[in-house]
A = this chain, B = another copy of it.
Amino acid sequence: MDHFADRLLAAIRTKGNAVCVGLDPRWNSLPAEIRSRHSGDTLEAAAAAYDEFCCRIVDRIAPLVPAVKAQCAFFEACGPAGVATLQRVLGRARERGLLTILDGKRNDIASTAVAYAEAAFTGFALGNRLHPVWDADAITINPYLGRDAVEPFLVSARKSQRGIFVLVRTSNRGSGLFQNLECKGRPLFLHVAEAVRSWSRENLGQSGFGDVGAVVGATHPAELALVRDALPEAILLIPGYGAQGGTAADIAPAFRGDGSGALVNSSRAIIFAFEPDDTNWEEQVESATQKTIAELRAATSMSRL
């Protein structure tokens, strides 16, 4: 298996775009046909509906995009059945050749972070073998606890050629409260970016990109450019495109001149690009994916890939 960044870059080149589809299932927005089939009066029924919905989306978009990002919160909200669904959806995405990002924003002190990291990547060592839990290609993590809390994720990722995306500048409106605090002459998020640069440089792939990337919201275009400059070897994972208000022009600075260096996530604008009663919802999801790809190719250097 190759270095995470090389695998991601290869997938982006093969598909001709750097769009990641966010799998954020929400009960009230599901197609009516799925909701009616699963009744929705238990957490298990909701989990089964999410399973069908996400797997059908994965099947539709797998030929089009390089990656999916699954948002843990929506699956965990269905309890154990939701967590089983998350495992199955990640497995379906892998089978269909998609790279998988587990969006859990996990963080904890070292000995506990080991448990999160092994669940994400190498698997839980029991008896004489490793038991895969999420088996994701990458996970999102929160940096507030510092390097020693990030270390277990780096160790597990590097044993298994996976990747990490560290929150640097998040897409929410109020993210500046701490992330933009001026610390020694520059905002906190640039201190985090500097740390990500050094972690990323520890393990570069043949593509020249590291296995540690940064999460930077599409909703902050000026800061996206600052992070791009600060992190030449990091792949930027960009949420906030579409439903959250980030435009294709806002995202242009995230790409390097050769069209590489960014992965743009869109969730609601793709997976809920229909009215609940529409019977052709999968076609609409496919069209929304193609529209997103076209918009980004028109407005960014992604077309040079």
Q: A: which residues have CB within 8 A of B?
A: 24, 27, 40-43, 45-46, 71, 73-74, 76-81, 83-84, 87, 105-110, 112-113, 115-116, 118-119, 124, 126-127, 129, 131, 133, 142-149, 167, 170-179, 181-184, 188, 191-192, 195, 239, 244
**Shortest 10 CB-CB distances between A and B: which pairs?**
A148-B174, A146-B177, A41-B127, A73-B115, A80-B84, A109-B172, A146-B174, A183-B183, A181-B183, A77-B119
A148 to B171, CA, bound (A): 11
Q: How many copies does the complex hold?
A: 2
Q: Is the CB of B145 within 8 A of A172?
A: yes
Residue numbers in B under 8 Å from A43 (CB-CB): 124, 126, 131, 133
**Of the residues B78, B147, B172, B176, contact of A110 by C-beta under 8 Å:** B172
Q: Is the CB of B74 within 8 A of A112?
A: yes
Residue numbers in B under 8 Å from A176 (CB-CB): 146
A137 to B274, CA, bound (A): 38
**Of the residues B24, B119, B146, contact of A112 by C-beta under 8 Å:** B24
List 6 other contacts, CB 8 Å, given A46-B124, A76-B83. Answer: A41-B127, A41-B129, A42-B131, A143-B178, A148-B173, A182-B183
- Closest residue of chain B to A129 (Cβ to Cβ) is B41
Residue numbers in B under 8 Å from A143 (CB-CB): 144, 178
- Closest residue of chain B to A181 (Cβ to Cβ) is B183
Q: Is the CB of B179 within 8 A of A146?
A: yes
Determine how close the nearest CB of chain B comes to the CB of A114; give it in whole angstroms.
8
